[in-house]
Structure 1
Amino acid sequence: MSEPPKEPKFKTSVHPLAHGLESIAPLVMSVEETPEPIPTIIKGKIPSWINGSFLRNGPGKFEFGESRFNHWFDGMALMHLFHIQDGQVTYSSRFLRSDSYIQNLEKNRIVVSEFGTLAMPDPCKNIFTQFFSRFQIPKATDNAGVNFVKYKGDFYVSTETNLMRKINPQSLETKEKVDWTKYIAVNAATAHPHYDREGATYNLGNSYGIRGYFYNIIRVPPGEGRVDGADLEGAELLCSVPATDSRKPSYYHSFAMSENYVVFIEQPIKLDLLKFVLYRVQGKSFQKVMSWELHLDTIFHVIDRRTGQLSKTRYYTSAMFTLHQINAYEEHGHLILDMCCGEEGNVIGEFTLENLRKATGQELDKFYNSLCTVLPRRYVLPLDITEDDPNDQNLIRLPHTTATAMKTSNGVFRTHENLYNNDLLEYGGLEFPQINYTHYNGRPYRYFYACGFGHVFGDSLLKMDLESKKLKVWRHPGLFTSEPVFVLAPSAKDEDDGVVMSVVITPRKRKSSFLLILDAKTFTELGRAEVLVDIPSGTHGLFNEMG
């Protein structure tokens, strides 16, 4: 039986090549914190029904003394709070008082290694102590600068290690450190959990040892946080998925979850564990142990969320990478998975501060044009595969998709449907997808929101209608957007009844960034709250509605 042809690759850059890009260096510069709430300048109108806090996270300090971080991900976590009530907005921010931040501050140099920066030995120690310190495996950082998440009703900031920090969402006060390994046998967990309608939280972690390397689906039961500090008590392993190659497991940033299934995507961004053991001796950062293996397949592992049973069917496709999934849902015996995909996985390591701070001109243009374009795709997985199903025939029986799935000697090979028209290419592809999560996560849906990437960082906000594959767009020259977050309106009847919030950065003018409020249905601006302090570009966050 012959293998199906591989999917054709995108070109490295499918958008029009950029020329004369303006500098984004102000987006990745250190700023001061604003611990006490300050008023903002309101332009337009902030709907009076919005009552709560918009919490954001991301890097905000990139040096200590004479030592500098190398990668954007390495910057010390800066938490932001926009408190919205009765049409008014206040702003505050605080650096996370992580062990990493405090130790770096006390020594006035970088003493804790991060993703792209290896902390060097103390120059005050003798040469022998410095040499042998390179053979020590560095402790995981608690610089939780990726996202705000919730477990058992409590708020945390998280990154991609085993350490989180509990946070007071009203004051941004740093509270106790929480170590996943104290509650469950995992070495790390993602910063992108999923939540079910019963109040439980799901996440993805890893473990490795004599038996090999495993990807672990974790479930934390519902319930309010415990005053005795047993924050993740009751956490359990739902399923352990063995790595295809235990010596070179896959990097992951998130996972997908439908009503009844969890999907882990094992992609060809590989971590070389031997290099990981040796990288400190070689003077290399964690970033250097990652490689893009174009010749490998991308494998989709499907787990029954109720039983923890791993599907015996091997679902696979050609090499691609994904950081964020849009949504997943089931329809007539099929699992539909929508996700943001790129053609190669080296992009993560390219976001060094050296690259991001390139001056306007040919060098910045060259860097942007070298990045692959991330585009929305749909994969469809037929769930009930039997031995009697024919080979080399499309097993998908849904009339509304062009995605395919064919049974082969290696499993079920799938090709995707593009969830866009060519007009998306004008905006450089998209990332940071968000939906009406409360009512439509794990269910059929029509709309999602994202950042368009006509620059190295997001420079537009997009609303995609999946029925027509048409866009609504908010974009203005010189304004850089962040992840859009949907907030449901009271008594909403339609999926897009609500607002979309995004923090917009203004590198052309200092101390003028603002919180933008768009009508989610029309995608027109309702109002903005200008902040009279500098704000750097951030990563992820959420809206916390006040009762």
Structure 2
Amino acid sequence: MIKIENEVKITIREDNLNPFLKDHFEPVGKEYTADTDSLEVIGEIPRDLHGVYVRNGHNQVHEPMGVFHIFDGDGMLHALHFEDGKATYRNRFVRTTGFLAEQAAGKSLWPGMLEPHLATRQGWGSMRTMKDNAGTDVIAHAGKLLATMSQCSEANRLDPISLEMLESDGWNATIAPAGICSHFKVDNDTGELMFFNFSETYPYMYYGVVDQNSQLKHYVPIDLPGVRWPHDLGITKNYSILHDLPFIFDPELLAKGERKVTFFTDMPARFGIIPRYGDNSKIKWFEARPCFILHLSNCYENGDEVVMEGCVTFNPRKPAVGKQGADAIDKMKNQFDKKQTGYRMYRWRFNLKTGKTKEEFLDDEITEFPVVSNDFIGKKYRYSYNSTFDNSKAWWLSGIKKYDLLDGTFQRYEYGEGRVGSEPQLARRLNAVEEDDGYLITLITDMNENRSECLILDAKDFSIGPVARIILPHRIPIGAHSCWVEGDRIKGERV
């Protein structure tokens, strides 16, 4: 069965030359439901693969108000539900309040992150000027998907299988208007969700915990020196790690209403280790080399230390906030040039007794979007699966590099010329014992064949090539983040 459930009209003008709306970024309007009884399957879908792979992404509908940034696009989820050797594909727009308002108006009502001064109405995000597009992150919690945007928004809830929008949780109102930011974390052992948000008003950051039944159990202000622009947080069994990084709006200019992102090389990076249910008085702050972090791989406790690992840059590229026209496009390309930013795997060790920080590179190769098994988030782990890049193209994920952090070796798989990937996820086999006993799943957009597919690899051995490839009913734009929902977590947390 291949069925078009709905079609949303794309109103972007043909003469809009923004490259982040063309080629592998080109948005789609059709929402499908399709199963593998009708879709082409190359290879065989494993019968011990049970769960849902979901990938979020920005899929702009209307002609933008001002210069379009890729993070402005309307959120669209693409999901494959696997069970008994079969799969069903669905894609749906995340129908946020902002999306529905623009559908009713037939045009864009909010500007994006590059030109917030164009706002004519109240908006979402840390600047309070954007549409809640919910296009960045997606994570499963308490039997629901939560789709969010990086600048903070509502925790938009959807059904993990049907992708239908669901009624909001009560805690969404409690934390409004600050909302919840990508990236929040879920502890599979306790079912708890840890999150943060940030804004341009005091106290600049909040930290919270939602329990396994989707009840807000903890929500406290975090005392920061000023406006910050963090992107991720880490969790361990007992702690959360908050980021205070020196890549921020220039405070003197911000006081005048001008937003200029600046990397302050004389300002140390700070990391706040807070007990899971701690408050501002319980945070221990650690200083480190000035840097910026988009995405962590994992964090864990090791004796007196909290260890944090992820991809770091010491040369972040400034987004083109306030820029216009071709200048803004050039700045945006520069921002996403991984060769220039040089994100690489890195380790921080924070000693809770001495207050000292130790740092080291784990690899020289540029990688990003690191993911680990859900069952090992917050615990000592062995494997990180990172995306590699073709630096000659904008936002082109060219393959996967599997790090064995125990013995220092790696495997890699390249998607091939003209094929761009998505953030992968590790789906452990039913009754898996070893950490990498399972499958890596990602979505590929093949510009050679003008189509997209779901790629399934054996996580233990990339060399044997794909276990299965599922050809999707349409070519999809590249996306942002993804998640894996284990079969026994589709209806709720295990605990």
Same fold (TM > 0.5): yes
Query: Equivalent residues in 2 for 1:133-532 (5 A)?
Result: 141-159=131-149, 160-177=151-168, 182-184=173-175, 187-196=178-187, 197-206=189-198, 212-223=202-213, 233-237=215-219, 239-244=220-225, 246=226, 249-272=227-250, 288-308=259-279, 310=281, 313-346=284-317, 349=320, 368=337, 371-385=340-354, 412=356, 414-420=357-363, 422=364, 425=365, 429-438=366-375, 440-455=376-391, 456-457=394-395, 458-475=397-414, 476-510=416-450, 512-523=451-462, 524-532=465-473
Query: Equivalent residues in 2 for 1:39-118 (5 A)?
Result: 39-61=38-60, 63-64=62-63, 70-118=68-116
Distance in 1 of aligned mates of 2:197 and 2:470:
38
The residue identity in structure 2 corresponding to 1:436 is S
Tell me if the contact between 1:142 and 1:165 (Cα under 8 Å) persists in the aligned partners: no
Corresponding residue for residue 3 of structure 2 = none
Q: Following TM superposition, by how much is the alpha carbon of 1:180 offset from its aligned partner in structure 2, in angstroms? A: 5.5
Aligned sequence identity (%): 21
Tell me if the contact between 1:72 and 1:353 (Cα under 8 Å) persists in the aligned partners: no
Distance in 1 of aligned mates of 2:336 and 2:173:
42
Q: Following TM superposition, by how much is the alpha carbon of 1:62 offset from its aligned partner in structure 2, in angstroms? A: 5.3
Q: Following TM superposition, by how much is the alpha carbon of 1:156 offset from its aligned partner in structure 2, in angstroms? A: 2.1
- CA gap of 1:76–1:313, structure 2 versus 1, over 3 A, is closer
Tell me if the contact between 2:49 and 2:430 (Cα under 8 Å) persists in the aligned partners: no
The residue identity in structure 1 corresponding to 2:421 is T
- CA gap of 1:92–1:369, structure 2 versus 1, over 3 A, is closer
Tell me if the contact between 2:243 and 2:270 (Cα under 8 Å) persists in the aligned partners: yes
Corresponding residue for residue 403 of structure 1 = none
How many residue pairs are counted as aligned between the two chains? 455
Kindly provide the CA deviation profile for residues 95-152 of structure 1, in whole angstroms up to 9, marking residues without a partner as x.
2222222332333332123323548478xxxxxxx9xx9xxx8555321111222343
Distance in 1 of aligned mates of 2:177 and 2:105:
31
* The structure with more radius of gyration: 1
- CA gap of 1:306–1:105, structure 2 versus 1, over 3 A, is closer
Q: Following TM superposition, by how much is the alpha carbon of 1:207 offset from its aligned partner in structure 2, in angstroms? A: 6.0
- CA gap of 1:443–1:88, structure 2 versus 1, over 3 A, is same
Tell me if the contact between 2:32 and 2:89 (Cα under 8 Å) persists in the aligned partners: no
Corresponding residue for residue 545 of structure 1 = 486
Pick which of 265-274 and 472-481 moved more. 265-274
Distance in 2 of aligned mates of 1:333 and 1:368:
38
Distance in 2 of aligned mates of 1:23 and 1:151:
31
Structure 2 SS opposite 1:295: coil
Distance in 2 of aligned mates of 1:369 and 1:437:
27
Tell me if the contact between 1:74 and 1:117 (Cα under 8 Å) persists in the aligned partners: no
Corresponding residue for residue 18 of structure 1 = none
The residue identity in structure 2 corresponding to 1:381 is F
Q: Following TM superposition, by how much is the alpha carbon of 1:501 offset from its aligned partner in structure 2, in angstroms? A: 0.5
Tell me if the contact between 1:451 and 1:461 (Cα under 8 Å) persists in the aligned partners: yes
- CA gap of 1:145–1:355, structure 2 versus 1, over 3 A, is farther
Pick which of 140-149 and 41-50 moved more. 140-149
RMSD: 3.4
- CA gap of 1:219–1:69, structure 2 versus 1, over 3 A, is same
Structure 2 SS opposite 1:325: strand
Q: Following TM superposition, by how much is the alpha carbon of 1:272 offset from its aligned partner in structure 2, in angstroms? A: 4.8
Pick which of 325-334 and 90-99 moved more. 90-99
Q: Following TM superposition, by how much is the alpha carbon of 1:491 offset from its aligned partner in structure 2, in angstroms? A: 2.0
Tell me if the contact between 1:28 and 1:357 (Cα under 8 Å) persists in the aligned partners: no
Structure 1 SS opposite 2:402: strand
Distance in 2 of aligned mates of 1:311 and 1:446:
30
- CA gap of 1:443–1:161, structure 2 versus 1, over 3 A, is closer
Q: Following TM superposition, by how much is the alpha carbon of 1:307 offset from its aligned partner in structure 2, in angstroms? A: 4.1
Distance in 2 of aligned mates of 1:435 and 1:308:
28
Corresponding residue for residue 5 of structure 2 = none
Q: Following TM superposition, by how much is the alpha carbon of 1:530 offset from its aligned partner in structure 2, in angstroms? A: 1.1
Distance in 1 of aligned mates of 2:324 and 2:158:
28
- CA gap of 1:156–1:419, structure 2 versus 1, over 3 A, is same
Kindly provide the CA deviation profile for residues 262-316 of structure 1, in whole angstroms up to 9, marking residues without a partner as x.
111211111356766875xx7xxxxx54322222110111112254465565411
Distance in 2 of aligned mates of 1:353 and 1:525:
42
Pick which of 331-340 and 186-195 moved more. 186-195
Distance in 2 of aligned mates of 1:374 and 1:214:
26
Corresponding residue for residue 493 of structure 2 = none
- CA gap of 1:509–1:354, structure 2 versus 1, over 3 A, is farther
Runs of 5+ unmatched residues, structure 2:
1-18, 489-495
The residue identity in structure 2 corresponding to 1:260 is N
Corresponding residue for residue 35 of structure 1 = 32
Q: Following TM superposition, by how much is the alpha carbon of 1:529 offset from its aligned partner in structure 2, in angstroms? A: 0.6
Runs of 5+ unmatched residues, structure 1:
1-21, 123-129, 224-231, 283-287, 386-410
Tell me if the contact between 1:77 and 1:96 (Cα under 8 Å) persists in the aligned partners: yes
- CA gap of 1:312–1:255, structure 2 versus 1, over 3 A, is closer
The residue identity in structure 2 corresponding to 1:507 is M
Q: Following TM superposition, by how much is the alpha carbon of 1:236 offset from its aligned partner in structure 2, in angstroms? A: 1.9
The residue identity in structure 2 corresponding to 1:416 is E
Distance in 1 of aligned mates of 2:230 and 2:359:
20
Tell me if the contact between 1:141 and 1:161 (Cα under 8 Å) persists in the aligned partners: no
Q: Following TM superposition, by how much is the alpha carbon of 1:203 offset from its aligned partner in structure 2, in angstroms? A: 0.6
Distance in 1 of aligned mates of 2:119 and 2:283:
48
Structure 2 SS opposite 1:53: strand
Corresponding residue for residue 6 of structure 1 = none
